[in-house]
Each structure stands twice: as structure tokens, then as C-alpha cells.
Amino acid sequence: MPLPASWGLEKALAEIAAIGQFRRPRLLESGQGARVTIDGRTLLNFSSNDYLGLAAHPAVGRALKAAVDTYGVGSGASHLVCGHTSAHEALEQALARLTGRSRVLLYSTGYMANLGVASGLLGRQDVLLQDKLNHASLLDAASISGAKLVRYRHGDVRHLHERLAALQPSSQRVLVSSDSVFSMDGDVPDLRMIAACTAQAGAALQLDDAHGLGVLGAKGGGACEAHALDEDAVPVLMGTFGKALGTAGAFVAGSEALIETLTQKSRTFIYTTAMPPAVAAATCRSIELLTEESWRRTHLQQLISRFKSKVAEIGLKLMPSDTAIQPLLVGDSSAAVDLSNALLARGFLVVAIRPPTVPAGEARLRITLSAAHDENDIDQLVHALAALVTQ
């Protein structure tokens, strides 16, 4: 039986389509990589978060297959019932070493990790102070925790300071949350200043390092390593595996007390089946590769510099970013989709990002680079952009 007509779903969908914001997933017929297959066509892929090209790394695949032989496919239960294996434990320890944190707790997704932090630490009497452009999972965390959501202008430390100063002293806990690398803009705020401002106000800082882990820092430890921010400066650190590490899942890292509190109180940890142990084993191998194949980070940085330079030569202006996320602002949603489709016709997968993911009037092409690309791939994309945008 369909949903009642009074719900108006068909009308709402038509309205979404009319303003150029209707979205549907593309069906890939291949694995992730610099090249993917869609509808029988091989496309150069500039839309993936597989920043280091590890999603299809043979060593990661072998680790996954070997762990399936040992543990099977499913974990069978939540971590607190009987789903926590030695593969999960090894991954938590590897992540603690990588991030320089005391302990780590695994989650099935980054979304669940951010919801779990808020629900485990905050209540209605508390405050979540967030960057205006934070990921949706951080914003939704305020709702699930019941905490009061207060937002400050994107990357504006002065405004953050003003917001902190204006809070009532009766607030029991204040958690400042920010992305480390903003997923739709690619920029990195002044994390050291944010940490100092937060500490001065007696609040705690949570960083979502989903797009920094594995890429930033001399050893791939992420934004905290790159900016020399220890556990005291950033008491709550979240990271994900589905980007630079090439697998799936997420974690929260911090002190012994933090991890024990989340273990007892974080509903998205307690009431969720643990990630497959084979995925945990594969992620451990990815972490090892961060050290063994450090050339991937170096190569990625070289590609980023080349792309920015080549784009500047043809007169295009990218949004300010030094990371693998290089957005080209278009503005109108339909125009962004048209440009994405034109690139698709030329053999490039570059997805258009539209509201509500980004603010109204700020639709863009979110161009992402990977260590799996080579210089010729970059040059081909720039040549296509020159033909389409500067014609």
C-alpha cells in the first residue's frame, strides 16, 4: 500500500527536480580507482574520497581475504555482546599509535561516531558550539543529544571567542566541534587558534578528521599531527576509514575516561553490530601502508600543486584549498549539473554538489584528487575544463 497522497511526496519530488537538485546514485561497474566504469564506459574519476588510492590496494585486499578465512564475514553482534574480535582490538591499538591518543573506540560509520559522541557526553543543559559549515553529522548530533546548538561563522576564531564569552556560566558542559578539513570546501581552519580559544574558555574541543586522517601530517596521523595538537588540546578526535584509508568505518580517540564513558553511554556504539572483523584487519593493513608507502602523500601533494597551477594558467579560480578537495564554484545548481554532464560526456566523473549539501547559490564541482592519479590525468582534466568553462 502506498503512502497517503496527503503526504505530497510526488509534488515535493517534482519541486526538487524543478530547481535542479534531484539526485540519484550512479551505478559503478568497477571498484574504486583513478578510473571507474559506469554504463560500460571507462571514466577518469575525480569524485572519490580515496585520497591515497588504497581502496583497491592488493595488500589491503589480501588482508581482508585472510581475515575472512579466520573470522568469517559478519561480526555477529555488537562489540559489547560478542562481536569484538582480536582484529578490532588490533585496529584500536594501531589507531591509538597513529593518532598519539590514549585509547580508541570503533564505530560503524563516521555519522554514528559523531552522533555517539554527543549522545554519550552531552544533555539538555549543555551546549554544542559548531562551525557554520560543519558536516551534517555534527549538526545532527545536537538534536540527538538535546544540547543547545550554537553556531559560529565558518573558520572565524574571533566569532568563536565571542560565542564562548556569551554563554551562560550555568552551562554544565560546552563542546566545540569543527571539521579539520571541510569536505565541500577543502579548507583547513586555524586549528591551533581554535584549540587555544576553546581551552581558554574552559570548553572541550572535538575535531572531525575524516578528510585529514592519512593525508595530513608527516606520518599520515592527520590534522592533529600536522598542527601539533595533542590529546589535551583536542580531547575528542574522530576519524573515518572510508576516505584515505580506503575501507569503511570510523573511530573516536581520546583519554581513558572518554573512551570508557562512550563505551557505557554512546547509544550508536552500544546498539550497533560491530563492523566486520575482516574490514578491521584490512584497515590495519592500510595503516601500515601509510608508513611503507609514504610516497603516496608526497605524490598527492605534487598533484594538488600541479592542478592548482594549471587551472590558474587557464584563468579559472578555484575555492581556496591546499588539500585534495579542489572545488570549482559554479553558483547555479542547474549550471553545475550541466557542467558535470558535459565533463561526463568527455570521459570525466566530476560530481556536482548542490544545496542542501552546500548553501543556496553555491553549487560547485567538487574535484577530488588521488595518489592513484598521474600528471597526465590532471592535465587531461584541466584541458577539458578549459574547453568547457573558458570557451
Q: How remote is the C-alpha of 359 from its chain's centroid? A: 18
Catalytic residue list contains 211 = yes
Q: Where are the domains of the chain?
A: 22-51+294-389, 58-291
Q: What is the pLDDT of residues 252-262, one digit of tens each?
A: 999 999 999 99
What's residue 168's pLDDT? 72
CA atoms of 161 and 226, how far apart (whole Å): 23
Q: Cβ(277)–Cβ(87) under 8 Å?
A: yes
pLDDT at residue number 160: 97
Q: Is 137 a catalytic residue?
A: no
Cell numbers for 358, please give them.
552546500
- The sign of the torsion formed by the CA atoms of 7, 13, 18, 22 equals positive
Pairwise CA distance, residues 46 & 132, whole Å: 26
pLDDT at 391: 58
Q: Could you say which of 48, 108, 178, 183 is catalytic?
A: 183
DSSP conformational letter for 80: I
Looking at CATH, the fold of the domain delimited by 58-291 is given as Aspartate Aminotransferase; domain 2 (3.40.640)
Q: Which strands form 348-349's sheet, in the order they lie side by side?
A: 35-38, 41-45, 348-349
> Can 22-51+294-389 and 58-291 be said to share one CATH topology?
no
Structure confidence at residue 233 (pLDDT): 98
Catalytic residue among 57, 79, 135, 243: 243
Is residue 243 annotated as a catalytic residue, yes or no? Answer: yes
pLDDT at 149: 95
Tell whether domain 22-51+294-389 is in CATH 3.40.50.720.
no
Tens digit of each residue's pLDDT (9 = 90 or more) over 178-219: 999 999 999 999 999 999 999 999 999 999 999 999 999 999
Catalytic residue (choose from 57, 211, 299, 373): 211
CB 211 within 8 A of CB 325: yes
Which residue numbers in the chain have pLDDT < 70?
1, 170-171, 390-391
Query: What pLDDT shows up at residue 314?
Result: 93
| Cβ contact 182:194 at 8 Å | no
CB 99 within 8 A of CB 237: yes
